[in-house]
Amino acid sequence: MDTQYLKHVDSVDGSELRLLMDQYGDDVWKYAYVLTKDREQAKDIAQEVFIKVHNSIHFFRGQSSLKTWLLTITRNLSFNYLKSSYFRRILLFGTVKPRQTNPSAELAYLGKQSVSELWDIILKSSDKLREVLVLDLEHELSVQEIATLLNLPTGTVKSRLHRARKEVEEKLKGWGQ
């Protein structure tokens, strides 16, 4: 779906919103899940994002891609949830249930770990490293898009990405020994 025209519209109808949800729903859910580590909350946040898109599409200026804009909204809503949880409730850590796949040769070399364990490592990284890694790995944003979304210099994004990858690889190697 070509979405650039959305920067010129004041509203989206039901069918357009559905197309957006078809195209970006999973991305929004995954990002909310990576940030909150809570499947049910990720579901609520993801729905809230698209309701906000419907109400606020006229604020989309096209300066970033629509995906980056959606993930920015997701991030803000997720952090709102996290902060209220942090201060008032005990946050329950959701367990990762990724699908199983055959590991690549490199993965086999690094310790023949399953994909679920790989994601376990990723989700246990520090917040800042995990966030840039997932935006790069899962959402395939460019460094510039990540920098825009996180309001960081591109140098910082590259640095964190490098550290995040190293951290994951160190842990994978540690398992292989």
Partner 1 sequence: MNEKKPEWYNDAKGGLGHALFDEQMKKDVIRRIQDQQPKRSKYGFWTAAAIAVAICIVAFLLVIPSLTKDVVPSPAGTQTPDIESTPPTPEPTDTIPPSETPIATPDDQVQLAYMDLANTIGNYPVEFNRIEANRIAKSSVIVKRVIEYGDQGNFLIYTKDEKDTQLYSGMEILTGGQGSEPKPDIYELGTVGELPYLNDIEVKGSNLFGQYQIHIYGVCGANCVTNNWIHFDEATPVVPISDFRLNAHVFEMDIDEDGTMEAIASESSTISKIEIYKKINGQIKIADLNIALNAEHPNSVIFDNEKRIFKAIFPNYNLSYQYKKGEDTLELVDNSQVTTDQDRLMTGAVYEEKDSIESKWTEWKSTLNGIRTLK
Window 73-92: residues binding partner 1 (CB under 8 A): 73, 75-77, 79-80, 83-84, 86-88
Window 111-130: residues binding partner 1 (CB under 8 A): 115-116, 118-119, 122, 126, 128
Of residues 65, 94, 124, 158, which one binds partner 1 by CB under 8 A? 158
161 interacts with partner 1 by CB under 8 A: yes
Long-range Cβ contact pairs of 34-41 (< 8 A, separation 24 or more) = 34/123, 34/130, 34/131, 34/134, 34/138, 35/74, 35/75, 35/78, 35/79, 35/82, 35/131, 36/78, 36/81, 36/82, 37/91, 37/93, 37/94, 37/123, 38/91, 38/92, 38/94, 39/94, 41/81
**Of residues 34-53, those binding partner 1 (CB under 8 A):** 34, 43, 46-47, 50-52
Q: Does 7 participate in binding partner 1 (rule CB under 8 A)? A: no
Which residue among 66, 110, 135, 141 contacts partner 1 (CB under 8 A)?
110
Query: Is there binding between residue 173 and partner 1 (CB under 8 A)?
Result: no
Q: How far is the CB of 46 from partner 1 (least distance, A)?
A: 6
Contact status: 94 vs partner 1 (CB under 8 A): no
Retrieve residue 111's tokens: 């310790």
CA distances from 132 to 12, 70, 157 (A): 30, 16, 7
Note whether 95 binds partner 1 by CB under 8 A.
no
Nearer to partner 1, 5 or 169 (CB): 169
Site for partner 1 (CB under 8 A): how many residues?
72
Contact between 10 and 58 under an 8 Å Cβ cutoff? The reply is yes
Q: Which of 127, 128, 137 is nearest to 160 (CA)?
A: 128
In this chain, which of 37, 145, 148, 171 binds partner 1, going by CB under 8 A? 148
